[in-house]
Protein backbone atom coordinates (compact mmCIF):
# COMPACT_ATOMS: atom_id res chain seq x y z
CA UNK A 1 0.00 0.00 0.00
CA UNK A 2 1.35 3.44 -0.90
CA UNK A 3 1.98 6.06 1.76
CA UNK A 4 -1.19 8.01 2.56
CA UNK A 5 -1.33 11.70 1.65
CA UNK A 6 -2.97 12.36 5.04
CA UNK A 7 0.09 11.22 6.99
CA UNK A 8 1.94 14.13 8.49
CA UNK A 9 0.90 17.48 9.96
CA UNK A 10 1.69 19.45 6.81
CA UNK A 11 -1.30 18.03 4.91
CA UNK A 12 -3.79 18.81 7.67
CA UNK A 13 -2.34 22.31 8.13
CA UNK A 14 -2.68 23.09 4.41
CA UNK A 15 -6.10 21.42 4.19
CA UNK A 16 -7.50 23.29 7.21
CA UNK A 17 -6.03 26.61 6.06
CA UNK A 18 -7.69 26.26 2.66
CA UNK A 19 -11.12 25.55 4.13
CA UNK A 20 -10.85 28.41 6.60
CA UNK A 21 -10.10 30.77 3.70
CA UNK A 22 -12.91 29.30 1.60
CA UNK A 23 -15.36 29.59 4.51
CA UNK A 24 -14.49 33.29 4.91
CA UNK A 25 -15.10 33.81 1.17
CA UNK A 26 -18.41 31.95 1.52
CA UNK A 27 -19.49 34.24 4.40
CA UNK A 28 -18.47 37.34 2.44
CA UNK A 29 -20.52 36.27 -0.62
CA UNK A 30 -23.64 35.63 1.53
CA UNK A 31 -23.13 38.98 3.25
CA UNK A 32 -23.22 40.64 -0.17
CA UNK A 33 -26.74 39.16 -0.60
CA UNK A 34 -27.85 40.82 2.66
CA UNK A 35 -27.87 37.55 4.66
CA UNK A 36 -27.35 38.20 8.42
CA UNK A 37 -23.83 37.42 9.64
CA UNK A 38 -24.92 34.62 11.97
CA UNK A 39 -26.94 32.95 9.20
CA UNK A 40 -24.07 33.38 6.73
CA UNK A 41 -21.61 31.86 9.23
CA UNK A 42 -23.93 28.90 9.90
CA UNK A 43 -24.42 28.26 6.17
CA UNK A 44 -20.70 28.54 5.42
CA UNK A 45 -19.68 26.32 8.35
CA UNK A 46 -22.18 23.52 7.63
CA UNK A 47 -21.66 23.58 3.85
CA UNK A 48 -17.88 23.62 3.95
CA UNK A 49 -17.61 21.13 6.82
CA UNK A 50 -19.62 18.63 4.76
CA UNK A 51 -17.68 19.42 1.58
CA UNK A 52 -14.32 19.04 3.37
CA UNK A 53 -15.50 15.71 4.82
CA UNK A 54 -16.39 14.38 1.36
CA UNK A 55 -12.98 15.55 0.06
CA UNK A 56 -11.24 13.61 2.86
CA UNK A 57 -13.36 10.59 1.95
CA UNK A 58 -12.03 10.81 -1.61
CA UNK A 59 -8.43 11.12 -0.40
CA UNK A 60 -8.67 8.03 1.81
CA UNK A 61 -10.52 6.04 -0.84
CA UNK A 62 -7.76 6.73 -3.38
CA UNK A 63 -5.28 5.13 -0.98
CA UNK A 64 -7.04 1.76 -1.35
CA UNK A 65 -8.25 2.02 -4.93
CA UNK A 66 -6.19 3.90 -7.52
CA UNK A 67 -7.88 4.07 -10.95
CA UNK A 68 -5.62 3.42 -13.93
CA UNK A 69 -5.61 5.39 -17.18
CA UNK A 70 -8.44 3.40 -18.73
CA UNK A 71 -10.64 3.99 -15.66
CA UNK A 72 -10.36 7.74 -15.13
CA UNK A 73 -14.14 7.93 -15.65
CA UNK A 74 -14.28 6.61 -12.08
CA UNK A 75 -13.15 10.04 -10.83
CA UNK A 76 -15.90 11.80 -12.79
CA UNK A 77 -18.61 9.48 -11.45
CA UNK A 78 -17.34 9.73 -7.85
CA UNK A 79 -17.23 13.53 -8.08
CA UNK A 80 -20.79 13.71 -9.48
CA UNK A 81 -22.22 11.31 -6.87
CA UNK A 82 -20.45 12.88 -3.88
CA UNK A 83 -21.41 16.38 -5.04
CA UNK A 84 -25.05 15.31 -5.17
CA UNK A 85 -24.83 13.77 -1.70
CA UNK A 86 -23.10 16.87 -0.31
CA UNK A 87 -25.77 19.17 -1.76
CA UNK A 88 -28.67 16.99 -0.60
CA UNK A 89 -27.42 16.70 3.00
CA UNK A 90 -26.40 20.36 3.33
CA UNK A 91 -29.70 21.66 1.91
CA UNK A 92 -31.65 19.29 4.20
CA UNK A 93 -29.83 20.57 7.29
CA UNK A 94 -29.99 24.25 6.28
CA UNK A 95 -33.70 24.03 5.45
CA UNK A 96 -34.37 22.56 8.87
CA UNK A 97 -32.35 25.25 10.66
CA UNK A 98 -33.74 28.20 8.66
CA UNK A 99 -37.29 26.90 8.02
CA UNK A 100 -38.76 30.19 9.28
CA UNK A 101 -36.48 32.47 7.21
CA UNK A 102 -38.22 32.97 3.84
CA UNK A 103 -35.49 35.26 2.45
CA UNK A 104 -32.73 32.75 3.19
CA UNK A 105 -34.75 29.79 1.86
CA UNK A 106 -35.29 31.68 -1.41
CA UNK A 107 -31.56 32.33 -1.72
CA UNK A 108 -30.83 28.68 -0.89
CA UNK A 109 -33.15 27.60 -3.71
CA UNK A 110 -31.68 30.09 -6.22
CA UNK A 111 -28.08 29.04 -5.39
CA UNK A 112 -28.74 25.35 -6.12
CA UNK A 113 -26.65 25.16 -9.31
CA UNK A 114 -23.76 27.31 -8.09
CA UNK A 115 -23.51 25.18 -4.93
CA UNK A 116 -23.56 21.97 -6.96
CA UNK A 117 -20.91 23.21 -9.41
CA UNK A 118 -18.74 24.44 -6.52
CA UNK A 119 -19.02 21.07 -4.76
CA UNK A 120 -18.27 19.19 -7.97
CA UNK A 121 -15.15 21.33 -8.67
CA UNK A 122 -13.88 20.98 -5.09
CA UNK A 123 -14.32 17.21 -4.95
CA UNK A 124 -13.04 16.79 -8.53
CA UNK A 125 -9.89 18.83 -7.81
CA UNK A 126 -9.27 16.87 -4.61
CA UNK A 127 -9.70 13.64 -6.56
CA UNK A 128 -7.15 14.71 -9.19
CA UNK A 129 -4.65 15.90 -6.57
CA UNK A 130 -5.02 12.58 -4.72
CA UNK A 131 -4.64 10.62 -7.96
CA UNK A 132 -1.44 12.46 -8.88
CA UNK A 133 -0.04 12.06 -5.34
CA UNK A 134 -0.72 8.33 -5.05
CA UNK A 135 0.42 7.63 -8.62
CA UNK A 136 3.72 9.41 -7.95
CA UNK A 137 4.18 7.65 -4.60
CA UNK A 138 3.41 4.27 -6.16
CA UNK A 139 6.00 4.89 -8.89
CA UNK A 140 8.59 5.96 -6.29
CA UNK A 141 7.94 2.91 -4.12
CA UNK A 142 8.05 0.59 -7.15
CA UNK A 143 11.34 2.16 -8.21
CA UNK A 144 12.71 1.79 -4.69
CA UNK A 145 11.71 -1.89 -4.57
CA UNK A 146 13.29 -2.42 -7.98
CA UNK A 147 16.54 -0.78 -6.85
CA UNK A 148 16.60 -2.87 -3.67
CA UNK A 149 15.98 -6.07 -5.66
CA UNK A 150 18.75 -5.15 -8.11
CA UNK A 151 21.11 -4.39 -5.22
CA UNK A 152 20.36 -7.74 -3.57
CA UNK A 153 20.92 -9.53 -6.89
CA UNK A 154 24.14 -7.60 -7.52
CA UNK A 155 25.47 -8.31 -4.01
CA UNK A 156 24.60 -11.99 -4.42
CA UNK A 157 26.46 -12.15 -7.73
CA UNK A 158 29.48 -10.35 -6.27
CA UNK A 159 29.55 -12.81 -3.37
CA UNK A 160 29.27 -15.75 -5.76
CA UNK A 161 32.15 -14.44 -7.89
CA UNK A 162 34.34 -14.03 -4.82
CA UNK A 163 33.46 -17.44 -3.38
CA UNK A 164 34.13 -19.25 -6.66
CA UNK A 165 37.81 -18.34 -6.37
CA UNK A 166 38.39 -19.57 -2.82
CA UNK A 167 37.91 -23.36 -3.23
CA UNK A 168 40.40 -23.52 -6.12
CA UNK A 169 43.11 -21.80 -4.07
CA UNK A 170 42.26 -23.84 -0.95
CA UNK A 171 42.55 -27.19 -2.78
CA UNK A 172 45.93 -26.21 -4.23
CA UNK A 173 47.19 -25.17 -0.78
CA UNK A 174 45.97 -28.38 0.88
CA UNK A 175 47.63 -30.46 -1.83
CA UNK A 176 50.90 -28.61 -1.22
CA UNK A 177 50.60 -29.09 2.55
CA UNK A 178 49.96 -32.78 1.99
CA UNK A 179 53.07 -33.04 -0.20
CA UNK A 180 55.22 -31.20 2.38
CA UNK A 181 53.89 -33.07 5.44
CA UNK A 182 56.10 -36.10 4.88
CA UNK A 183 59.33 -34.55 3.59
CA UNK A 184 59.30 -31.09 5.20
CA UNK A 185 56.91 -31.11 8.20
CA UNK A 186 58.18 -27.74 9.50
CA UNK A 187 57.35 -26.08 6.19
CA UNK A 188 53.94 -27.78 6.19
CA UNK A 189 53.15 -26.43 9.70
CA UNK A 190 54.26 -22.94 8.63
CA UNK A 191 52.06 -23.12 5.53
CA UNK A 192 49.07 -24.26 7.61
CA UNK A 193 49.53 -21.23 9.87
CA UNK A 194 49.74 -18.90 6.86
CA UNK A 195 46.67 -20.49 5.28
CA UNK A 196 44.78 -20.08 8.58
CA UNK A 197 45.70 -16.38 8.74
CA UNK A 198 44.69 -15.89 5.11
CA UNK A 199 41.28 -17.58 5.50
CA UNK A 200 40.59 -15.73 8.76
CA UNK A 201 41.28 -12.44 6.99
CA UNK A 202 39.04 -13.49 4.11
CA UNK A 203 36.12 -14.22 6.46
CA UNK A 204 36.54 -10.87 8.19
CA UNK A 205 36.43 -9.06 4.87
CA UNK A 206 33.32 -10.83 3.54
CA UNK A 207 31.01 -8.09 4.87
CA UNK A 208 32.95 -5.24 3.26
CA UNK A 209 32.70 -3.89 -0.27
CA UNK A 210 35.73 -1.58 -0.26
CA UNK A 211 38.98 -1.56 1.69
CA UNK A 212 42.12 0.52 1.47
CA UNK A 213 44.80 -0.67 -0.93
CA UNK A 214 47.12 -1.02 2.07
CA UNK A 215 44.76 -3.61 3.62
CA UNK A 216 44.33 -5.39 0.30
CA UNK A 217 48.12 -5.60 -0.24
CA UNK A 218 48.60 -6.94 3.30
CA UNK A 219 46.08 -9.70 2.60
CA UNK A 220 47.66 -10.36 -0.80
CA UNK A 221 51.05 -10.75 0.87
CA UNK A 222 49.66 -13.66 2.94
CA UNK A 223 48.52 -15.30 -0.28
CA UNK A 224 51.93 -14.79 -1.90
CA UNK A 225 53.72 -16.22 1.15
CA UNK A 226 51.63 -19.40 0.81
CA UNK A 227 52.37 -19.62 -2.90
CA UNK A 228 56.09 -19.11 -2.25
CA UNK A 229 56.03 -22.17 0.00
CA UNK A 230 54.48 -24.09 -2.92
CA UNK A 231 56.86 -22.85 -5.58
CA UNK A 232 59.95 -22.04 -3.50
CA UNK A 233 62.62 -19.79 -5.00
CA UNK A 234 60.93 -19.98 -8.42
CA UNK A 235 58.35 -17.37 -7.39
CA UNK A 236 59.73 -13.86 -6.90
CA UNK A 237 57.60 -10.75 -6.41
CA UNK A 238 58.11 -6.97 -6.48
CA UNK A 239 55.58 -4.68 -4.81
CA UNK A 240 55.66 -1.00 -5.75
CA UNK A 241 52.93 1.01 -4.03
CA UNK A 242 53.25 4.77 -3.54
CA UNK A 243 52.00 6.33 -0.30
CA UNK A 244 49.09 8.19 -1.91
CA UNK A 245 47.82 5.05 -3.62
CA UNK A 246 47.97 2.93 -0.44
CA UNK A 247 45.18 4.96 1.17
CA UNK A 248 42.83 4.70 -1.81
CA UNK A 249 39.87 2.33 -1.86
CA UNK A 250 39.65 -0.92 -3.80
CA UNK A 251 37.02 -3.69 -3.96
CA UNK A 252 37.88 -6.27 -1.32
CA UNK A 253 39.80 -9.41 -2.44
CA UNK A 254 40.14 -8.05 -5.99
CA UNK A 255 43.86 -8.58 -6.53
CA UNK A 256 44.30 -12.19 -5.41
CA UNK A 257 42.59 -13.80 -8.45
CA UNK A 258 44.56 -11.49 -10.77
CA UNK A 259 47.85 -12.47 -9.13
CA UNK A 260 46.76 -16.12 -9.19
CA UNK A 261 46.20 -15.69 -12.91
CA UNK A 262 49.71 -14.22 -13.24
CA UNK A 263 51.20 -17.17 -11.35
CA UNK A 264 49.46 -19.61 -13.69
CA UNK A 265 50.74 -17.81 -16.76
CA UNK A 266 54.24 -17.42 -15.39
CA UNK A 267 55.01 -20.58 -13.44
CA UNK A 268 53.02 -23.38 -15.05
CA UNK A 269 54.91 -25.40 -17.67
CA UNK A 270 58.27 -23.92 -16.66
CA UNK A 271 60.95 -24.72 -14.08
CA UNK A 272 62.70 -21.35 -14.25
CA UNK A 273 62.52 -18.48 -11.76
CA UNK A 274 59.64 -16.10 -12.45
CA UNK A 275 59.27 -12.47 -11.31
CA UNK A 276 55.77 -11.07 -10.79
CA UNK A 277 55.54 -7.29 -10.50
CA UNK A 278 52.69 -5.47 -8.75
CA UNK A 279 52.65 -1.69 -9.08
CA UNK A 280 50.07 0.84 -7.84
CA UNK A 281 50.01 4.53 -8.74
CA UNK A 282 47.65 7.43 -8.06
CA UNK A 283 47.98 9.89 -10.92
CA UNK A 284 45.07 11.89 -9.46
CA UNK A 285 42.61 11.73 -6.56
CA UNK A 286 39.89 10.13 -8.67
CA UNK A 287 41.68 7.07 -10.05
CA UNK A 288 43.81 4.28 -8.61
CA UNK A 289 45.85 2.50 -11.29
CA UNK A 290 47.31 -0.97 -10.69
CA UNK A 291 49.64 -2.98 -12.91
CA UNK A 292 50.24 -6.72 -12.44
CA UNK A 293 52.92 -8.09 -14.76
CA UNK A 294 54.37 -11.55 -15.30
CA UNK A 295 56.50 -13.28 -17.96
CA UNK A 296 54.92 -15.90 -20.19
CA UNK A 297 55.99 -18.31 -22.90
CA UNK A 298 53.78 -17.99 -26.01
CA UNK A 299 54.53 -21.62 -26.94
CA UNK A 300 53.24 -23.12 -23.67
CA UNK A 301 50.65 -20.56 -22.53
CA UNK A 302 48.23 -21.50 -25.28
CA UNK A 303 47.93 -24.96 -23.72
CA UNK A 304 47.35 -23.68 -20.18
CA UNK A 305 43.75 -24.20 -19.15
CA UNK A 306 41.63 -22.09 -16.82
CA UNK A 307 43.61 -18.85 -17.01
CA UNK A 308 40.67 -16.77 -18.19
CA UNK A 309 38.22 -17.24 -15.31
CA UNK A 310 40.06 -14.99 -12.83
CA UNK A 311 40.20 -12.01 -15.16
CA UNK A 312 36.65 -12.54 -16.40
CA UNK A 313 35.34 -12.58 -12.83
CA UNK A 314 37.28 -9.41 -11.98
CA UNK A 315 35.89 -7.65 -15.06
CA UNK A 316 32.37 -8.69 -14.01
CA UNK A 317 32.86 -7.47 -10.42
CA UNK A 318 34.17 -4.10 -11.59
CA UNK A 319 31.23 -3.70 -13.96
CA UNK A 320 28.72 -4.52 -11.20
CA UNK A 321 30.30 -2.04 -8.81
CA UNK A 322 31.16 0.82 -11.17
CA UNK A 323 28.96 0.21 -14.26
CA UNK A 324 32.01 0.50 -16.54
CA UNK A 325 33.49 -1.99 -19.01
CA UNK A 326 36.89 -0.28 -19.39
CA UNK A 327 38.40 -0.76 -15.92
CA UNK A 328 40.51 -3.83 -16.73
CA UNK A 329 42.60 -4.59 -19.79
CA UNK A 330 45.46 -6.94 -20.66
CA UNK A 331 48.46 -6.62 -22.92
CA UNK A 332 51.06 -9.08 -24.26
CA UNK A 333 54.41 -7.65 -25.30
CA UNK A 334 58.01 -8.90 -25.27
CA UNK A 335 57.00 -12.11 -23.45
CA UNK A 336 55.40 -10.03 -20.68
CA UNK A 337 51.74 -10.34 -19.81
CA UNK A 338 50.38 -7.13 -18.22
CA UNK A 339 47.04 -6.62 -16.51
CA UNK A 340 45.98 -3.01 -16.00
CA UNK A 341 43.24 -2.26 -13.45
CA UNK A 342 41.70 1.17 -12.81
CA UNK A 343 39.63 1.83 -9.69
CA UNK A 344 37.50 5.04 -9.59
CA UNK A 345 37.51 6.80 -6.23
CA UNK A 346 34.08 8.43 -6.19
CA UNK A 347 32.27 5.68 -4.22
CA UNK A 348 30.67 6.75 -0.95
CA UNK A 349 32.74 6.33 2.17
CA UNK A 350 29.82 4.45 3.72
CA UNK A 351 30.86 1.42 1.71
CA UNK A 352 34.18 1.37 3.50
CA UNK A 353 33.51 -0.09 6.93
- Per the domain annotation, does 175 fall within a domain? no
66 contacts 138 by C-beta, under 8 angstroms: yes
204 contacts 151 by C-beta, under 8 angstroms: no
- Per the domain annotation, does 151 fall within a domain? no
pLDDT at 306 (0 to 100): 42
- Per the domain annotation, does 274 fall within a domain? yes
- Per the domain annotation, does 174 fall within a domain? no
Residue 83: other Cβ atoms inside 10 A: 22
pLDDT band at 252 (very low <50, low <70, confident <90, very high): confident
* Domain containing residue 225: 184-351
pLDDT of residue 33 exceeding 80, the answer is yes
**What is the rounded average pLDDT for all residues in the chain?**
82
Strand order in the sheet with 328-333: 235-241, 274-284, 287-295, 336-344, 328-333
Q: Are residues 252 and 313 in the same domain?
A: yes
H/E stretch holding 284:
strand 274-284
Is this model's pTM higher than 0.85 or not?
Answer: no
- Per the domain annotation, does 158 fall within a domain? no
**Of the candidates 114, 145, 176, which is a domain's last residue?**
145
289: domain CATH number?
3.30.565.10
**Of the candidates 89, 122, 145, which is a domain's last residue?**
145
Q: Are residues 128 and 215 in the same domain?
A: no
pLDDT at 303 (0 to 100): 47
300 contacts 269 by C-beta, under 8 angstroms: yes
pLDDT of residue 49 exceeding 90, the answer is yes
pLDDT at 349 (0 to 100): 43
- Per the domain annotation, does 4 fall within a domain? no
**Of the candidates 129, 145, 161, which is a domain's last residue?**
145
Amino acid sequence: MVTSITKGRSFYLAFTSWWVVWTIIHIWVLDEYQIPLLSAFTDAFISNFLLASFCLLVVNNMQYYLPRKERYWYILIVSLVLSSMYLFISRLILRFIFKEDEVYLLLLKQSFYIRYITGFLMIGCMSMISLLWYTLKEQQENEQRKEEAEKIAKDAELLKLRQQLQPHFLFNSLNSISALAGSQPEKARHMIQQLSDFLRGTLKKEEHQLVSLHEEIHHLQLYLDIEKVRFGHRLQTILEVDEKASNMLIPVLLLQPVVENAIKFGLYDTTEEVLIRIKADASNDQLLEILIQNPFDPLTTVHTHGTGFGLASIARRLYLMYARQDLIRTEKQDQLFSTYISIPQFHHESNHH
